[in-house]
Structure 1
Amino acid sequence: MSKHTIAVAIFVIFLSFSCQKKEESPLLAHYVPEKEIKPIDSSLITLPFSMELHPVSEEYKLEKSKIIGEYYNTKIGLSDFSGALLVTKNGKIIFEDYQGYANYATKTPVSKTTALHLASVSKVMTATLVLRLVQENKIDLNEKVQTYLPDFPYQNTTVKTLLNHRSGLPHYSRFSESVKKWNARKTLTNADVLDYLKRYKFALLAKNDTKFNYCNTNYVILALVIEKVTGKTYAEAMQEQIFTPLGMKDTFVFDFINQKNEVSQSYKSNYVNHGWDQFDALYGDKNIYSTPRDLVKFDLATYSSEFLRKDLWEEALKGYSYEKKGIKNYGLGIRLREWETGQTLHYHNGWWHGNTSSYTTLKNDTIAIIALSNKYTRKTYQAMKLAALFGDYPFELNEKE
């Protein structure tokens, strides 16, 4: 071997040793090659609670989203639709679309951060807040309402019969039929509703816990119970117990006095403004504004015992009214469809002025189907039928309405 060859070999060995030392340098110890950095999945909605939910493949997403898109274009998202549809599995967005105007006068479009009026879907959150307070031993489901609100005039009504609409309370929208000189211009508060019940002691529609009767008054009173036991306003308690823990940053309880011009507006057909009435300041039964993505965060929380104990979720999700045969039932703040073949579907719909809403949660399939609109349409409720894509639910996507 020549001296030149030996010199080259020594140089190569030195260079190799030098490079190896560089790679082991403390300055590079925490470097992660670019190919190992996993990008954030912008189509995945998550929560800081433990949940056993499996990843959803892109193949699954593409397969389902194509069918949902076709259904949406023919059944829901027609040219006159103003609102949103969001479908997720395990927090993974399968389909998402927004269209129309949050404010037609300013041509402000509906987007993923546009909070829309949930109408009666708000009841789902009111009920969950009550259950959180049960978990904290501040409320007992079987306790009489009078324990919390001494002025409440019906002695047999319990917290549970308010939640499952078995109290028999009269509808506040019909108080005017029994009150002389009813002031239709007065904007009612929750306290006013309780005061009317106390002063007039309206006849119950049925004895407590004998019959289902869906009634907004139940949830107006529940909001007062929440305020009494927490010492906070309903809006403050909801923010503290639900919105903040779940990161629902675009969700809020409507302040009728100060936010009428700020919130997404409510429309009849052709974007004719619906206007307000004397029941618009009442809360608990309605008046939560939210986005589909925030509602998915709420839905994900229903799979976590860290957020609410398993036994309380089970109390909420079972049916309570079996006086009549049929598939429809009601839990604690959630509607059910229970088919004789064994399937159970949980959901809640809403309607207030021009706002319609539909929240469907498939517990066996970890699917959330959310449709919201601020321009009156019943097309929103067609979203529930998408359940047929994910489980054995007796819906036909091609059937006529």
Structure 2
Amino acid sequence: MLSLVLGSCKQKNESTTALEETTKTKKVELIKKGPKLSESYIASKKSSITHFYNKNWPHNSLNGGFLVAKNGHIIFEKYEGLANYKTKQEMTSSTPLHIASVSKVITATAVLKLIDQKKLSLDQKLNTILKGFPYPDVTIKTLLSHRTGMRNYAYFTEKKGIWDRHKILTNQDILTIMATKGIDLEFKTDTRFSYCNTNYAMLALVIEKVTGLPYKKAMEQIIFKPLEMNDTYVFDYEKDKETATPSYKGNFSKVNLDYLDGIYGDKNIYSTPRDLLKFDMGRNSPEFFPAKLLQKAFIGYSNEHKGKNNYGLGIRMMNWPTGQNFYFHNGWWHGNTSAYITLPEEKVTIIALSNKFNRMTYKVRNLSALFGDYPFKLEDDGKEE
């Protein structure tokens, strides 16, 4: 018995060491800044961004962080409002905020990294990785691109007899419920797109199974530490529920945690605009993984209906007939809203995070018009597409 335990520990340690070795990359290789920007260029862009900011978030109404950068150089950033309304703790550049579904971009990047390391393949079926997974045609690719046909766990766990909502739901619980409670697919796998958080909850389990580590530790080793995202972490319900930056409704009434707050992969990463800039620079670095693999993430996989809106591997996009493409991901969980915009051609990153509900967070996409031929208007009615 002792030898079996020691052997198991040794195997786990060896797995952990191997993962650490394969994810070690020098900082200078991953987040190296591009050419410096001229003072006149910075002044011109900063003036337009300042005008945009003052119009859309007057009187400290952002309550979060906002950053615009090109070539890794920050052109504009602002941190305003309160991180904690009760203690009056102010928002700073190092205040981690819940980035909601922008977490999916980071989860997808970790999966792509494991694919690069030959630990996974895009077309690999999930039932070869997760024991008991009930849908035979679901693959890593259909999970990443939201084409599985699975139902949203937030909805099927509300049904009577499925789950006791006094208990915190876990990722493994979702898998068990789907395998034992007769949760049918909404539609046949890979026949259409349907955005579903369950896809990324399952990808988090895949990361754990392949690395032999909890999702939190795996993300630290694959993404956070190599990119020196020092203020970024995965929320642990039991450990962090009293200390994590709270979220609020528009009137600063606190939004309480619920039984869904233990799920990770689709959400539950806390980060800052500066850390997300590091992530964007690293993610788009050819030293992080081959450009050919990253390009697969920026391909739209849902073309069954004509239109400009599409989804790649962990990234939303707009593809216009002109050939211009726009890449982004928004997030919303409780009172937290988030926007991540990456413009690889222009090497521009735009980040907005807020822990007090505000749809204006999503409007930062309009700033893309300052850097490229994007059909957005800085002055519009504020409606989100």
Q: Same fold (TM over 0.5)?
A: yes
Q: Deviations over 1:199-248 (max 9, x none)?
A: 12311111111100000000000000110010000010000010000010
- Shift of residue 123 of structure 1? 0.3
What is residue 255 of structure 1 aligned with on the other side?
A: 236
Structure 2 equivalent of residue 304 of structure 1? 285
Partner of 1:292: 273
User: How far 1:178 sits from its partner (Å)?
Assistant: 4.5
Structure 2 counterpart of 1:147: 128
How do 1:174-193 residues align onto structure 2 when only pairs under 5 Å count? 174-176=155-157, 178-180=159-161, 182-193=163-174
Equivalent of residue 161 in structure 1, options 139, 142, 167 = 142
Structure 1 contact 76–382 (Cα < 8 Å) conserved: no
| 1:278-321 alpha-carbon deviations (Å, 9 max, x no partner) | 10010000000000000000110132111111111011111000
Q: Which stretches of structure 1, 4 residues or longer, exceed 2 Å deviation after superposition? A: 50-53, 76-81, 176-182
- Corresponding residue for residue 377 of structure 1: 358
Residue 64 of structure 1 is matched in structure 2 by 45
Q: Distance in 1 between matches of 2:57 and 2:27?
A: 29
Asked if 1:48 corresponds to 2:28, the answer is: yes
Q: Offset of 1:58 from its aligned partner?
A: 1.7
Distance 1:59 1:143, change over 3 A: same
Change (3 A) 1:113 1:256: same
What is the deviation of 1:267?
A: 0.3
> Is the 2:162–2:177 contact (alpha carbons within 8 Å) kept by the matching residues of 1?
no
Matches within 5 A, 1:85-96: 85-96=66-77
- Contact 1:356–1:374 (CA under 8 A) maintained in structure 2: yes
Cα separation, 2, equivalents of 1:55 and 1:357:
28
- Are residue 361 (structure 1) and residue 342 (structure 2) matched? yes
Q: In the alignment, which residue of structure 2 is the partner of 1:238?
A: 219
| Distance (whole Å) between structure 2 residues aligned to residue 120 and residue 221 of structure 1 | 15
CA shift for structure 1 position 348: 0.2
Q: CA deviation at 1:127?
A: 0.2
CA distance in 2, matches of 1:65, 1:132: 35
1:350 pairs with one of 323, 328, 331: 331
For 2:186 and 2:294, how far apart are their aligned partners in 1?
29
Report how far residue 330 of structure 1 moved: 0.3
Equivalent position of 1:208 in the other structure: 189
1:9 aligns with none
Contact 1:268 1:354 in 2 (8 A): yes
Q: Number of aligned residue pairs: give it.
A: 356
Equivalence for 1:43: none
> C-alpha offsets along residues 87-134 of structure 1, whole Å, 9 cap, x if unaligned?
000111111001111111111111000011000000000000001101
- With over 3 angstroms needed to count, the CA separation of the structure-2 counterparts of 1:246 and 1:182, relative to structure 1, is closer
C-alpha distance in structure 1 between counterparts of 2:91 and 2:341, whole Å: 21
- 3-state SS of the aligned residue for 2:29? coil
TM-score by length of 2: 0.90
Tell me the secondary structure at the aligned position of residue 368 of structure 1: strand
Q: Indicate the residue corresponding to 1:314 in structure 2.
A: 295
Q: Partners of 1:77 and 1:291 in 2: how far apart?
A: 21
Match of 2:21 in 1: none
Query: Could you tell me which residue of structure 2 aligns to residue 25 of structure 1?
Result: none
Matches of 2:149 and 2:220, distance apart in 1: 30
Q: Secondary structure at the match of 1:95?
A: strand
1:106 corresponds to which of 87, 90, 95: 87
User: Residue 392 of structure 1 aligns to a residue in which SS?
Assistant: coil
Q: What secondary structure is seen at the aligned counterpart in 2 of 1:239?
A: helix
> SS in structure 2 opposite 1:297?
helix
CA distance in 2, matches of 1:139, 1:179: 37
- Secondary structure at the counterpart of residue 124 of structure 2: coil
Matches of 1:179 and 1:144 in 2, distance apart?
31
Gaps of 5+ in 1: 1-45
Moved more, 121-130 or 58-67: 58-67
Aligned counterparts of 1:341 and 1:97: Cα–Cα separation in 2? 34
- Matched-pair identity in %: 50
Q: Which of 48, 55, 69 in structure 2 is aligned with 1:74?
A: 55
- How far off its partner does 1:182 sit? 3.8
Pairwise CA RMSD of aligned residues?
A: 1.4
Pick one of 83, 87, 98 that aligns with 1:117: 98
Letter in 2 for 1:48: V
Question: Structure 1 residues 181 and 129 mapped into 2: Cα distance closer, same or farther (>3 Å)?
Answer: closer
1:105 partner amino acid: K
Contact 2:33 2:72 in 1 (8 A): no
Q: 2:209 aligns with which of 228, 233, 244?
A: 228
Q: For the residues of structure 1 that align with 2:318 and 2:312, how far apart are their CA atoms?
A: 10
Look up the match of 1:131.
Answer: 112
- Structure 2 residue runs of 5 or longer lacking an equivalent are 1-25
Is contact 2:94–2:272 with CA below 8 Å preserved after alignment? Answer: yes
What's the TM-score once normalised by structure 1's chain length?
Answer: 0.86
- TM-superposed CA distance for 1:181, in Å, is 6.3
The answer as to whether partners of 1:118 and 1:290 remain within 8 angstroms in 2 is yes
